[in-house]
Structure 1
Amino acid sequence: MPTLPELRDKLRRPLELERLRGFENRAVSGGLGKLLEGPLAGPFPQVREVLRGYDDLSIPEREQALEEALGMLQDSPPRAVSVPRVARQDVPTLAPSGETLLPGTALARLDWGHGGLKKLTGLGLQTLRDLLHNYPRRHEDRRALPSIAEIEDGARATVSGVIVSKTRRSPRPGMQILDAVLQTASGERVKATWFNQPWVEKNLREGAKLILTGRVKRFGRSAQLGVEHMELLDGGGAGSSLSTGRIVGVYDSKEGVSQDFLRKAAQTALSRFDMGDYLPAHWRKQCDLTDLADALQGIHFPHDEAHLARADHRLRFDEYLFLELRMLLQGEDAVLLGKRFTATDRDMQDFEAGLPFRFTGAQRRVLHEIADDMRSERQMARLVQGDVGSGKTAVAACALYLAVRDGYQGALMAPTEILARQHYVNMQNYLAPLGVRVGLLIGALTPKQKAEMQATIAAGLIDVVVGTQALIQENVSWANLGLAVVDEEHRFGVAQRRKLLAGRPDVLVMSATPIPRSLALTAYGDLELSIIDELPPGRTPVDTKLLQDTHRTQAYGFVMTQIREGRQAFVVTALIEESETLELLAATQLADDLRVILPEARIDLLHGKMAAAEKDAIMERFRAGEFDILVSTTVIEVGVDVPNASVMVIENAERFGLSQLHQLRGRVGRGSAKSYCVLVAGEHSQKTRKRLKIIEGSTDGFVIAEADLKLRGPGELRGTRQSGIPDLKLGDLVSDVAIIEAARDLAKHILAHDPVLKHPRLSGLREELQARSNQVAYREVI
């Protein structure tokens, strides 16, 4: 018959488990009420009384009752603190005060044991909120650790057991091997091995309980574990229950900070956190989200796979929600009234009738999205993305025509003078036959020409002005600016863009750089997104060929063949280092080599040390056919047309991202001649070849951008600092499009009703946004 101390221990264990699981009444089947009705609680009537009606209590009431009951089950009188201290000094415990703490509370207000606070701050954790959002980097299922006999040779496995012996050996000078024999709870033994890690030995005491992860190597019936990860547990109790027998989180850490300590720290934070939710219940229901308390509990200590999944979904959603809110709030013009245009279908039809081609289905769809925005009283802010040759400029010209039809002026701002001139010619061709007056304002104009154009703009005697940053100079004033089109917006700073938008015109942003929808929704969170994903019929795709550098002569032989047929060629070389001097040397050497290899060809050079005007002059000469090959170390300007160029050779193609390669390839194929892109790879690895084969096999910029995102991550596709995209802890831009769109919709809904989050019920949301954001622009708004 069990003794009274044995019965006390049997009753205490499920109560401790209930505390670890957040007082959710899930520790035992049927709830604690059913347990207390059974014979196990019979010898402890005072415990039954304290926990009477537990199922119907609130979480704080359950916590209070459970702590009192556990105190009654101690061998000695209970301490005055909420959770008993354990023997090890680095285990975090609660502060004596029983108050519930807000997420911004400094960790220094809690007692983390000897050296515990230093460990947490050493990981960059300063507040309770930091600790709660210090998510595990992965989770391991340790509910039923496998039998050693069942693990296949070479498989990765996690085992738990007690050290029964250890040895140290040095099979040769400079090598030290530590071996420890681990005995599992089932009595099996496995030899664990550490190579050249002498600092591990201090933890390999006989009787110490370890959890080890590594690759298994079998030798007949015996098994050896090459240890990749080790956790040392204390004498039992909470540490064991948090690290075994459940789905367990594994955290990023560093030397001297154990997983055991981090799990107990997370448990402490969860037990003291004010579990209020910054998202009201009706929004959570609308977006199918669990509450914040359940999500934080589930990411750190999930009950099962379903709990982990709903926690992960909620916390991912929150990452994107706050990112979208920050993007939408980053400008003082977040929600503004704009112009209101009639934008009739008849006007769009009249514009199209004057074109030498018909719009594609994608162009028509995007035009109707733009027209819907223009008819609205809210200011249009829309990004039009389209691959090279998809017809963005014609769509922008039609939008400008709609603005002019209503008596407004239009502006088209390009990042360089050569692009501005090119757009000016296109706008003249599209709009002048319809009676629209088109002007050009760039830095290269004489002072007299500038003054005349500025006066014409101010008097409203010009309808559409194409230009560079000259459009946003202080002495430019508009009679009635209604629509601003910005080409390659990422080339301009926020302050520059706002100068053009001072009169609150509708805004249309164009980009010829395909980026995945998920990245566009975050990087351009303040803009609606339209995609022209269809090329005009009859457009011949550029043939792409991948060659190793050992076949470079073959590539330039083909280039010379094209030149003899009257064509021109680009040759682009990748940067070797972040040095303009070395860049210039590399480019000069390549140009000199080509003059030897191709003595018939006329060759010129474009490099990073040239002034912008000099670069523009060289590009104009190339476009005029004054030389045959342009050698360049800079990315050839997006959007520049050289219709006679039919070949693009890219040296050291492996040094470029896939999206960059696709952009470079788009510099050719702009005329009627068949065009080609030759990728010369200086690295011959299978991995490099596989990556470059993607660009060889596809001409769809969005497919290529998705592949680039998977390979390189968002920061390299569009600079993280420039775009405002932080490192996502849980989010995955490759696969989270649906979550991003849902979060964006909610962010827009919130700000449509409360543009600066002033309502008292949004105070929690506002505080969380401030905590997640270090952007000055947001603080200025609120």
Structure 2
Amino acid sequence: MELEQLKGVGKASVEKLNQLGIHEVTDLLFHLPLRYEDKTRITDIADAQGFQYAQIEGFITKSYVTQGNRPILVVEVADDSSSIQLKFFNFYYSQKLKMKQDLRIRAYGEVRWGMQGKEIIHPEFELSPKSKLADSLTAIYPKTEGLSQKLIQKALIQSMALLSKGELQLSELLPAQWLSSQDLPTLEEALIQVHTPAPDTNLTALINNQHPGQQRLKVEEMLAHFLALHQVKSQAQSHPAPELPITAQQAKSLTDKLPFTLTGAQQRVVAEIHKDMAGQLPMQRLVQGDVGSGKTVVAAMAIQAALSHGKQSVMMAPTEILAEQHYLGLQEFFEPEHIAFLSGSIKGKARETVLEQIATTAQVVIGTHALFQQDVIYRDLALVVVDEQHRFGVHQRLALKQKGADKGEVPHNLIMTATPIPRTLAQVAYANLDISVIDELPPGRKAINTVLISNDKMPQLAERIIKACSAGEQAYWVCTLIEESENLRAKAAEDTYQELQDWFPDIKIGLVHGRLKGDEKKQIMAEFKANQIQLLVATTVIEVGVDVPNASLMVIDNAERLGLSQLHQLRGRVGRGNRQSHCVLMYQGPLSQNAQTRLQTMRNSNDGFEIARQDLKLRGPGEILGTQQKGSMAFRLSDPEKDAELFETARALADMMLKKHPENCKKLTQRWHRTGQELAKV
């Protein structure tokens, strides 16, 4: 049924509703409330509790405008039990005239305690009220600019009326027997309970998203999510991949080159990867490991399996610095003349030479997003390794995978991330992938000592830096800036660079930021690695991938501006060698409660997974996974952490639906299209 058929919904409103993912009347039913207001009853003023919403009714005893810089319209209202002040900071002269003494008024809002007792700031109100009290709790919905709450509410009321009359059809897609076994309502019952909850509904359960109607809808939303990810996996495995078994001797030829022994976790993950690559189906594996756990070596072992069959591998990284780090690192394992490097900064004849190499002799290709551009032709691509995949868009990842699909086979796909993701969230977000975890750091690594100091303690910090550099150690100084502009970041880093040269005239200081040309960046990083630079001033471009074992001190300036994940990534740039390393988080007070929690978490823990759990609580799953803009983790009701048990139920239900009710699976993902159809594109 078309949205325009609803009373009060015109063309402009339809366009706004479309922005919310609402394209037909049925979609409205799945546009779920954010919260509820109770306008089903009148609360005596004496019983109205502070910091709670209430609807009161009484007579105006006095109204006046306060004098001062900001006039306030104050309306004093009394009932038989007590009195309260209604305050309006923005008001019209006509509104003041209407607030006459002895006139009856009904008002709704949050009750607070003011200087004169109870008050409500900017309440909703009705003079000489004639309207009936609401029959059910009033749902408040997500909206967008230009779309009023009242229009959405009226559209929903009409939609619910059509549903109850049978003029709007909704298929029950979950098995009745299963619903009964879980003591959950039907879909229609759940929608009625959620959109028009009865006055005696358990409001606490509704507010906490624990009402049976909400639980029913959560299960279906989660189910659609898992079914969509199953669809993604099925699509990925609908084409064969090259079978690339590797012998023990071939694997040993690579490990023999290592100056260390692989950890047990690395050996386990490598075995899982090699097993995948030996099969006919394309590998779809996520390897997550904390900073410094040795993911690059694991990737090299995967590349070795492809090389043993004469096939090409490609590794894509989100930044040029990280890509160059991989390029240098993999030269320790493979012949440099068989490794090609391509980034956006390589132009002209140099680029033509690299493209020729990729199309003919290159065995391993490393680079940035430049790797999937149209003119890049691969000879025989069999393995795609994507590092920090959440930094790439959906279409970028797909474009690279499709590069190897022109011979009837698709490449194996290995994703690596140093962003530890809590188990529950990983299972929800990456249900289409097999997950491996490198949960062991190389032996001998010492925990990084993390301290917090305020900006005014710079003299003490300066002594610590001079002492470290005099002892032959090296240090990072990371500049942060709220704005996303690369120009501003570079300027901030340059200013800091000048200041630090005044503080440390005898220390060789280098500067690296995003505006430097590739060759300049490469030169500075090479000098830092060779200990020709003692203190490196950098923006967060060094967040991932830089590996300088002699660097044992990191200062993060204005650390309160960064999220937990980014702070942990940056801290991981030190502690790469055998020395005791230190990370100094400098902050500018006063700190918000959120910032205090972040910095204390960093001081108390070096465990990436514990930090990720705290990050999830503070920021939510969408930001951690880099899916905030795509909406693929934008659950309407479900919370991967709070509803972990329910997610397990939905996962088991997905398996059962695929086996016994496959005809309903596609319908479910289409119904919850904001989750399902978005995920199906990944």
Confirm or deny a common fold (TM above 0.5): yes
Which residue in the other structure is 2:361 paired with?
A: 456
- Code of the aligned partner of 2:301: C
SS class of match (1:608): coil
- Code of the aligned partner of 1:677: C
Counterpart selection for 1:315 from 217, 225, 246? 217
Residues 1:713 and 2:620 are matched in the alignment: yes
- Code of the aligned partner of 1:705: A
Q: Is the CA contact (8 Å cut-off) linking 1:587 and 1:631 kept in structure 2?
A: yes
Q: Is the CA contact (8 Å cut-off) linking 2:404 and 2:410 kept in structure 1?
A: yes
- Code of the aligned partner of 1:658: L
Cα displacement (A) at 1:672? 1.9
Which residue in the other structure is 1:440 paired with?
A: 339
Which residue in the other structure is 1:560 paired with?
A: 466
Residues 746 and 486 (structure 1), Cα distance of their counterparts in 2 relative to 1, 3 Å cut: farther
Residues 1:486 and 2:386 are matched in the alignment: yes
| Runs of 5+ unmatched residues, structure 1 | 1-104
Cα displacement (A) at 1:660? 0.9
Residues 1:241 and 2:135 are matched in the alignment: yes
Q: Within 2, Cα distance between the matches of 1:487 and 1:581?
A: 26
SS class of match (1:685): coil
Which residue in the other structure is 2:89 paired with?
A: 196
Give runs of aligned pairs for residues 126-525 of structure 1, distance below 5 A: 127-139=24-36, 155-160=50-55, 162-173=57-68, 174-182=71-79, 188-191=81-84, 193-196=86-89, 198=91, 206=103, 213-215=110-112, 224-226=118-120, 230=124, 235=130, 239-243=133-137, 249-251=139-141, 257=150, 264-265=157-158, 267-268=160-161, 270-272=163-165, 273-279=168-174, 281=176, 290-302=185-197, 304-305=201-202, 309-323=211-225, 333-336=235-238, 337-342=240-245, 357-403=260-306, 410-415=313-318, 419-420=322-323, 422-423=325-326, 426-427=329-330, 429=332, 439-443=338-342, 451=356, 454-457=359-362, 474=375, 476-479=377-380, 481-492=381-392, 493-502=396-405, 503-517=409-423, 519-521=425-427, 524=430
Cα displacement (A) at 1:178? 1.1
Which residue in the other structure is 2:5 paired with?
A: 109
Cα displacement (A) at 1:583? 2.8
Which residue in the other structure is 1:39 paired with?
A: none
Which residue in the other structure is 1:577 paired with?
A: 483
Residues 1:700 and 2:607 are matched in the alignment: yes
Residues 548 and 608 (structure 1), Cα distance of their counterparts in 2 relative to 1, 3 Å cut: same
SS class of match (1:592): helix
Give runs of aligned pairs for residues 57-136 of structure 1, distance below 5 A: 105-111=1-7, 127-136=24-33
Residues 118 and 609 (structure 1), Cα distance of their counterparts in 2 relative to 1, 3 Å cut: closer
Q: Is the CA contact (8 Å cut-off) linking 2:228 and 2:677 kept in structure 1?
A: no
Cα displacement (A) at 1:744? 5.9
CA RMSD of aligned residues (A): 4.4
Residues 391 and 762 (structure 1), Cα distance of their counterparts in 2 relative to 1, 3 Å cut: closer
Greater CA radius of gyration, 1 or 2? 1
- Code of the aligned partner of 1:441: A
Cα displacement (A) at 1:180? 2.2
Q: Within 2, Cα distance between the matches of 1:169 and 1:537?
A: 74
Q: Is the CA contact (8 Å cut-off) linking 1:521 and 1:740 kept in structure 2?
A: no
SS class of match (2:236): coil
Identity of aligned residues (%): 35
- Code of the aligned partner of 2:289: G
Q: Within 2, Cα distance between the matches of 1:752 and 1:425?
A: 48
- Code of the aligned partner of 1:600: D
Q: Is the CA contact (8 Å cut-off) linking 2:293 and 2:441 kept in structure 1?
A: yes
Q: Within 1, Cα distance between the matches of 2:649 and 2:423?
A: 13
Which residue in the other structure is 1:621 paired with?
A: 527
Residues 643 and 563 (structure 1), Cα distance of their counterparts in 2 relative to 1, 3 Å cut: same
- Code of the aligned partner of 1:674: Q
Q: Is the CA contact (8 Å cut-off) linking 1:442 and 1:470 kept in structure 2?
A: no
Question: How many matched pairs?
Answer: 645
- Code of the aligned partner of 2:298: V
Cα displacement (A) at 1:561? 0.9
Q: Deviations over 1:294-327 (max 9, x none)?
A: 2212212346447962222233344444455556
Residues 648 and 287 (structure 1), Cα distance of their counterparts in 2 relative to 1, 3 Å cut: farther
Which residue in the other structure is 1:48 paired with?
A: none
Residues 117 and 179 (structure 1), Cα distance of their counterparts in 2 relative to 1, 3 Å cut: farther
Q: Within 2, Cα distance between the matches of 1:465 and 1:752?
A: 41
Cα displacement (A) at 1:601? 0.6
Q: Within 2, Cα distance between the matches of 1:421 and 1:224?
A: 64
SS class of match (2:612): helix
User: Bigger shift: 615-624 or 705-714?
Assistant: 705-714
Residues 590 and 208 (structure 1), Cα distance of their counterparts in 2 relative to 1, 3 Å cut: closer
Residues 285 and 609 (structure 1), Cα distance of their counterparts in 2 relative to 1, 3 Å cut: farther
Q: Deviations over 1:503-537 (max 9, x none)?
A: 41221111122244455456556433322233233
Counterpart selection for 1:531 from 415, 423, 437? 437
Residues 1:731 and 2:638 are matched in the alignment: yes
Q: Deviations over 1:90-120 (max 9, x none)?
A: xxxxxxxxxxxxxxx23432446xx999989
Q: Within 1, Cα distance between the matches of 2:264 and 2:177?
A: 39
Cα displacement (A) at 1:419? 4.3
Q: Deviations over 1:430-477 (max 9, x none)?
A: 578xxxx993111477966874675335xxxx5x56566676575644
SS class of match (2:296): helix
Q: Within 2, Cα distance between the matches of 1:452 and 1:159?
A: 72
Q: Within 1, Cα distance between the matches of 2:487 and 2:331?
A: 41
Cα displacement (A) at 1:733? 4.2
SS class of match (2:361): helix
Which residue in the other structure is 1:35 paired with?
A: none
Residues 289 and 203 (structure 1), Cα distance of their counterparts in 2 relative to 1, 3 Å cut: farther
Q: Is the CA contact (8 Å cut-off) linking 1:232 and 1:258 kept in structure 2?
A: no
